Structure 1
Amino acid sequence: MAGHAPRLGAIAVVISDGHVLLAQRRNPPDAGLWGFPGGHVELGETALAAAARELHEETGVIATPVDYITNIDIIGRDADGRTILHYLLAAVLCEYVSGTPCAADDVEDAAWFPFEQVRRGDLALSDRVISVMDQAIDLRK
């Protein structure tokens, strides 16, 4: 990946009834960590559409993309400090429509978690999950 342009990804932030939907990643770079469902944005696809598509592919949940929350740079470096991967993730607020979370695609597990449990820090979380969740909550007020 060195020398290539950053890749664009989208993550779906779904909150409902005091809970947030998280998925446990199966593959690196965040294998084993809980974070928002998401993945690559395809050519010609908006990040809003990609977030909803990836959410459904990974968890079976259907949600309507509402708005952008923030952007997150994920930059991986090797032992010599060279950049080996770079993703720009568009965090998308999605309104829950239907479905019960079940793990599919490259997800080990998927579930709803109470906001308080996520903030408590007893889950192994991907970077910025709590701050992005809190931004999503603020947007919905």
Structure 2
Amino acid sequence: MKVHECVSFMLIDNNRVLLEKRSETRETDAGIVNIPGGHMEGGETQRQALFREMDEELNVIPESYQYLCSLYHPTRELQLIHYYVVDRWTGEISAQEAESVHWYPLSSAPVGIDADRLAIAEFFRVGQYLSF
């Protein structure tokens, strides 16, 4: 089975994380609340995908970010999601592709996929060591 690489970005502000509610018409994870992100394009680096996807999804550009972890997410395809923590960005956040975006407390973020739950747990486990 082919692995499809993706990037996801945890925007963090005052112990809150920005999550998106996916449209009910999406092919994968329809209607789910999750950490925003998207597929990497051919030949694209993780950093390039992070910048492109943040612009496409939220209309913002990361200023301060750190790689967190990579996790598999089986949907109709097998995704390998590379998670990044972003604590500073430029631009005003707006949902460009998702139905909506909202801030949630990190400790009770209602994410709908296991990989996102694990990424948030990893942030709690090692977040104090990330260099911002």
* Length-normalised TM-score, structure 1: 0.74
What is the letter of the counterpart of residue 127 of structure 2? L
What is the letter of the counterpart of residue 109 of structure 1? S
Task: Give the RMSD, CA atoms, in angstroms.
Answer: 2.2
Secondary structure of the structure 2 residue equivalent to 1:104: coil
Superposition deviation, residue 8 in structure 1: 0.9
Superposition deviation, residue 65 in structure 1: 5.8
What is the letter of the counterpart of residue 6 of structure 1? V
Residue in 2 aligned with 1:60? 59
1:111 to 66, 80, 102: 102
Unaligned runs of 5+ residues in structure 2 are: none
Q: Which has more radius of gyration? A: 1
Residue in 2 aligned with 1:86? 78
Task: Report Cα offsets for 1:51-79 as digits up to 9, x if no partner.
Answer: 23212211223323633211111223xxx
* Length-normalised TM-score, structure 2: 0.79
Task: Report Cα offsets for 1:70-123 as digits up to 9, x if no partner.
Answer: 1111223xxxxxxx5111111122232233432112x111122122331xxxx3
Superposition deviation, residue 36 in structure 1: 1.2
> How many residues are aligned here?
126
Superposition deviation, residue 140 in structure 1: 4.2
What is the letter of the counterpart of residue 72 of structure 2? D
2:127 to 129, 135, 139: 139
Secondary structure of the structure 2 residue equivalent to 1:96: strand
Residue in 1 aligned with 2:35? 36
Structure 1 residues 65 and 89: CA distance shift in structure 2, 3 A: farther
Could you list the runs of 4 or more consecutive aligned residues of structure 1 that deviate by over 4 angstroms after TM superposition?
none
Are 1:125 and 2:117 an aligned pair?
no
Higher mean alpha-carbon deviation, 24-33 vs 91-100, is at 91-100
Secondary structure of the structure 1 residue equivalent to 2:95: coil
